[in-house]
Amino acid sequence: MKPHTVAPLLLAVALLPTSSPTPAIAQPLTTTQSSATAQAPAIPQPARTHASATTRTPAIPQLAVQPGHAQTSGVPWIAHVHARSQAPAAPWLAVQPVHTQTSTAPWPTHAQAPVTGRSVHAEPTRRQAVQAALDALVAAGAPGALAETRDENGHWTGTAGTGDLRTHAPVPRNGRWRIGSVTKSFVAALVLKLADEKKITLDAPIGRYLPGLLPRQDKITVRMLLNHTGGIADYAATFDQTPAGLRRLGETTYTPRRLIALGTGLPPTSDPGVRWAYSNTGYAALGLMIEKVTGQSLSVALRTRVIVPLGLRATYLPTTARGITGPHPHGYMRDEKNRLEDITTFNPSNAWAAGAIVSTASDVNHFFDQLLRGRLLSPALLAQMKQTVPVAPGFEYGLGLMKLTLSCGTTVWGHKGHIPGYATYSFHTDRRDITVAATALPSLNDAAIDQAMNQALNAEFCS
């Protein structure tokens, strides 16, 4: 979500800005298949195949999302990344050169040795590189960091720093946290399951299911809401992103309709189907659509159709509950005096369908593994989920899925998530998975945090 004049929250897609203005996306916006053909791809086979690896870790290409309307430039953790030619975005959205002299954390890092799964000695160099990225997150100013990786040799979990600045307890290896906009992949998967069940049609106008909710309801389709091409402004752009604003945000209860009203009260970002512009508002509308067609709350619908079938035992969608159940690292934000303040206790209603899920690295990796292997959706629906629209060089967006092409040539699928207190990157190939989290947002050095998160992706997929 984004900057509400009130104090809201949100999750977002923090992408890296390009060094030059992002060209406008061709109109009308067209989708591309994830494979060379237009036919639905076959379901991936359980056995993971080996991919080529390089001997060095290249940098992830810098990305920029297509700016929508100037008024949609909101809170950094929510989702817009602006080209540098635009008005400056929040500091944690831009990736600046990091000076190691200024990235020392003001507390002991307590870096922990990696915890291995089935293969204690498998891929030591790559896993050491991921651990180094976790240590870099702590050095950059995050109190704690956590990652789980999976490959043909087994599972590996690494942590660094502390899970609580007050007690100096270690980061819980199976800890839960708010995964922010990674929630969108879960919600999109649920919408596609409902399409599989013939309860909704992806190319039907949203007005068929929610009459009167959105302007231009007969032109904006379900698919456009899923891939952010509906032209609806982001309600998070109205949030107050100051420390005081974030505190209020964490104490305020928003209804989905209030969030949607905030977004539709802003000028549209484009005509429907013309331009990609990240919008949490669209996902709030999708959440209401899910509730309408299922007769269940979004939390229950996710649990019965996605979470329980996949065996995700530590995943849930809170509505207004401010605490996180079970073991969890505390989340922090930068206060007015540039100190870290605990913001773990936070009302997530401003994120809801756009970013309120609480989960673990293990559950998130398992979700994407099963989703991308075709264990949740039919081949035809998974193929549609992976139909993308262009956003920037090396970055495309499908139906709740981000597709990144790394500079080493590897293509990964997943999502990024940002919400006050936590940053999450979760990306996957047919043989490797990584979910990594840092426990500060906005942090003391957001550019360095983002750089270290990218370092973790490079370590896993390009080494």
Question: H helices within 77-199, ranges in order?
Answer: 124-139, 183-196
Angle between helices 280-294 and 183-196 (to 10 degrees): 40
Sign of the four-CA dihedral 344, 304, 1, 456: positive
What CA–CA distance (Å, rounded) separates 463 from 40? 30
Q: Are 355 and 1 in contact (CB under 8 A)?
A: yes
Structure token digits, residue 297:
């709350």
Nearest to 154 by CA among 456, 457, 432, 442: 432
Q: Which residue has the tokens 């002991």?
A: 108
DSSP 205: B
| DSSP run (H or E) holding 95 | none
Structure token digits, residue 309:
């079938």
Q: Are 355 and 10 in contact (CB under 8 A)?
A: yes
232 three-class SS: coil
Q: Which residue has the tokens 């104090």?
A: 7
What burial class does residue 45 get, using C-beta atoms within 10 Å of its C-beta: 0-12 exposed, 13-18 middle, 19+ buried?
Answer: exposed
Q: Tell me, rounded to whole angstroms, the distance of Cα 81 from its chain centroid.
A: 13
Q: With the CA atoms of 417, 423, 427 and 432 taken in that order, what torsion angle do they form, in degrees rounded to the nearest 10?
A: -150
Catalytic residue among 181, 185, 270, 362: 181
Q: Which residue has the tokens 């402004």?
A: 233
Name the percent of the chain in helix, strand, coil, to the closest 5: 30, 15, 55
Write the CB contacts of 218 (distance below 8 Å, at least 6 apart in sequence): 205, 207
What CA–CA distance (Å, rounded) separates 237 from 246? 13
Question: How many residues would you count in the chain?
Answer: 463
- How many C-beta atoms surround the C-beta of residue 98 within 10 A? 18
User: Does residue 85 have an active-site annotation?
Assistant: no
What CA–CA distance (Å, rounded) separates 135 from 161? 7
Question: H helices within 109-266, ranges in order?
Answer: 124-139, 183-196, 222-226, 243-249, 256-264
β-bridge mates for residue 395, sequence order: 392, 404
Structure token digits, residue 78:
């929510």
Angle between helices 361-372 and 183-196 (to 10 degrees): 40
Residues that are catalytic: 181
